[in-house]
């Protein structure tokens, strides 16, 4: 049974996804907004000519009808690709969006945006921040850097930006406690931990006990988020409901997931029990 918490758990649509939509597209973001999710996560990369686009992988191969590395392609080349037709014909013609287009799609919706910063030679932190400022979205964006140095850089560029520390490390290995502590000390407003780290850290069998790591971060005043995808088996794709329930029981404050509808059902069932 899910223990009801004193706080709401944020459900974040990973890569803008809700069921049936092509990831990291404007259509996906609009679908997540229409479905009532309070936050959407997307991935930022830069093209060879410095345009900030939304793309998870290093290459466009998996999610478009083209091929090549994002950082080696021009914006015009990436813009010519179809990023939706592989999911369903009704999404044919969806382009790889720019960061600005996603900000514009969310404007006025009340939906928050989590941006996963994918490091690259042409992705400039200051440009990300200034564009966020020009769009009036500083209070609506949660920045996700992958190094403590980048975290400090974003805080320097605009101290009002909230930062989610995406602590690096192999997700199926033991957690790097020193790296987690470094992100906390560097000023992360929230900390992302992988589900296997949380489950490995748990001091008893599933369904009982606590996560000392989560308790430690809560003691430092740091909310804990996690990325719980079935696609990459962050949670068991055969039993996602059980893993989501356990993450909630252990005290996570936010869940970025490719099954946001299921996560919302689990939370609703826990609140009603």
Rounded to an integer, what distance in angstroms lies between the CA atom of residue 235 and that of residue 239? Answer: 8
Q: Running DSSP on this structure, what letter comes out for residue 5?
A: P
Query: DSSP characters for 102-135?
Result: HHHHHTTT--EEEEEE---TT--HHHHHHHHHHT
Average pLDDT over residues 81-105: 97
194 confidence band (pLDDT: 50, 70, 90): very high
pLDDT tops 90 at residue 161: yes
pLDDT tops 50 at residue 1: no
CA nearest neighbour of 39 among 129, 131, 128, 102: 102
Give the number of C-alpha atoms closer than 13 A to the C-alpha of residue 40, restricted to the C-beta side: 32
For the chain, where are the alpha helices, taking DSSP H only? 26-34, 75-79, 99-106, 125-134, 148-157, 177-185, 195-201, 212-219, 240-250, 260-272
- Tell me the C-alpha to C-alpha distance, in Å, between residue 68 and each of 15, 61, 73, 207: 20, 7, 7, 45
Residue 203's pLDDT is 83
Residue 4's pLDDT is 43
Average pLDDT over residues 61-73: 98
Q: All domains of the chain, ordered by start, with CATH?
A: 10-272 (3.20.20.190)
The pTM assigned to this predicted structure is 0.94
- Tell me the C-alpha to C-alpha distance, in Å, between residue 140 and each of 12, 71, 124, 242: 13, 27, 20, 31
CA nearest neighbour of 165 among 144, 181, 186, 149: 144
SS3 category, 47? coil
> 73, 60 in Cβ contact below 8 A?
yes
Choose the weakest-confidence range: 6-10, 134-138, 163-167, 254-258.
Answer: 6-10
pLDDT tops 80 at residue 272: no
CA nearest neighbour of 24 among 95, 80, 120: 95
SS3 category, 166? strand
Give the number of C-alpha atoms closer than 13 A to the C-alpha of residue 6, restricted to the C-beta side: 1
What residues are labeled active site?
Answer: 14, 56
In terms of residues, how long is the chain?
273
> 194, 171 in Cβ contact below 8 A?
yes
> 143, 117 in Cβ contact below 8 A?
yes
pLDDT tops 80 at residue 123: yes
pLDDT tops 60 at residue 2: no
Any bridge partners for residue 120, and if so which? Answer: none
CA nearest neighbour of 252 among 3, 1, 15: 3
Q: Which percentage of the chain shows pLDDT scores above 90?
A: 90
Tokens representing 32 are 């997540």
Average pLDDT over residues 177-199: 97
pLDDT tops 80 at residue 270: yes
Residue 204's pLDDT is 83
pLDDT tops 90 at residue 251: yes
Mean pLDDT of the chain: 94
CA nearest neighbour of 12 among 167, 185, 142: 142
Any bridge partners for residue 166, and if so which? Answer: 192
> 207, 249 in Cβ contact below 8 A?
yes
């Amino acid at each position: 049974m899910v223990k009801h918490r004193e706080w709401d758990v944020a459900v974040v649509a990973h890569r803008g996804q809700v069921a049936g939509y092509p990831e990291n597209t404007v259509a996906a973001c609009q679908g997540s907004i229409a479905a009532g999710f309070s936050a959407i996560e997307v991935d930022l990369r830069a093209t060879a000519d410095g345009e900030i686009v939304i793309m998870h992988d290093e290459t466009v191969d998996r999610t478009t009808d083209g091929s090549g590395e994002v950082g080696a392609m021009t914006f015009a080349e990436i813009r010519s690709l179809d990023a939706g037709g592989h999911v369903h014909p009704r999404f044919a013609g969806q382009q790889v969006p720019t960061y600005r287009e996603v900000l514009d799609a969310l404007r006025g919706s009340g939906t928050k945006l989590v941006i996963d910063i994918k490091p690259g030679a042409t992705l400039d932190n200051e440009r990300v921040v200034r564009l966020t400022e020009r769009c009036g979205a500083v209070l609506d964006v949660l920045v996700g850097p992958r190094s403590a140095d980048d975290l400090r850089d974003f805080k320097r560029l605009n101290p009002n930006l909230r930062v989610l520390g995406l602590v690096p490390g192999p997700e199926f290995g033991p957690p790097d406690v020193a790296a987690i502590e470094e992100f906390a000390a560097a000023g992360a407003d929230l900390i992302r931990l992988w589900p296997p780290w949380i489950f490995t850290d748990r001091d008893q069998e599933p369904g009982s006990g606590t996560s000392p790591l989560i308790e430690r971060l809560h003691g430092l005043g740091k909310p804990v988020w996690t990325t719980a995808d079935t696609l990459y088996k962050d949670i068991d794709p055969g039993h996602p409901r059980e893993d989501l329930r356990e993450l909630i029981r252990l005290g996570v404050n936010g869940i970025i997931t490719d099954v946001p509808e299921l996560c919302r059902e689990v939370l609703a069932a826990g609140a009603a029990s």
